[in-house]
Homo-oligomer: A and B are copies of this chain.
Amino acid sequence: MIESTLVSVDVIVLRFDPEERAVLVGVAPRAGEPFAGALALPGVLLGRGERLRDASTRAVTGKLGLAEESVTATGQLATFDEPSRDPRGPTLSIALWATATGATGDVAVWSRFDAMPPLAFDHDRIVADCRPLLADKLWRDVAFTAGLLGPEFTTAQALDVTESLTGDRPYPANLGRTMDRVPGLERTNEHASALPKGGRPPLVWKWSSEAVRA
């Protein structure tokens, strides 16, 4: 009988901050060794028979201090198998994404994608490798997009999110047309209150009832 590998689940938690006008990644200082005090992605060891989704919830609530309800969607990214990635011994890491809204959690540190602090283990590499995968999901994976932006949002916020993930800001007109093609996403007639700086109030978008159910 071959001794089994340890499996950890590491989560890239994304939250859109309307004040900051950017997508932020949640990390937290490690409580114990190794890398005590260093920032790391929330991660836990996968329990026997535990589903990946449950483990990711456990990591996000336990390590970042978020409420379970604030996690809006999750999914798989990739698996990392370098045997030396954890100094305690060989550990497989399954990277997942999660989207969160609302409260920021009591211990979480939120950083922009383009200004991530150095992280413990190989988490820098995990974030770097997974960023293009995440950018690709925007406007194509409905669960991801809806989880990140919430049930209702403006064109201006959509512009900010796209810029955060892909690196450059699209023309508002073109983004509107991409959003028209997203199944379940609909324009409303409402307009948000304008920004203090002035300017035309942006359109409000909503998910149709069918999309929310799925």
The residues of A with any CB-CB pair to B shorter than 8 Å are 2-7, 45-52, 76, 78-79, 81-83, 89-90, 92, 94
Contacts and interface: CB of A to CB of B under 8 A. Distances in A.
A138 B112 CA distance: 34
A205 to B, nearest CB: 29
In the complex, the 8 A-B pairs of residues with the closest C-beta atoms, listed nearest first: A49-B90, A2-B47, A3-B48, A49-B83, A52-B81, A5-B46, A5-B48, A4-B6
A46 B83 contact: no
6 contacts: A2-B46, A4-B4, A5-B7, A48-B89, A50-B83, A51-B83
A46 B78 contact: no
A92 B7 CA distance: 10
A5 B47 contact: yes
A48 B79 contact: no
Nearest to A52: B81
A84 to B, nearest CB: 9
A4 B79 contact: no
Contact of A4 (B46, B51, B78): B46
A51 B3 CA distance: 14
A49 B79 contact: no
A2 to B, nearest CB: 4
A6 B1 CA distance: 12
Contact of A48 (B4, B45, B49): B4
Contacts of A48: 2-6, 89-90
A89 B47 CA distance: 13
A1 to B, nearest CB: 9
A47 B7 contact: no
A8 to B, nearest CB: 10
A45 B83 CA distance: 16
Contacts of A5: 4, 7, 46-50
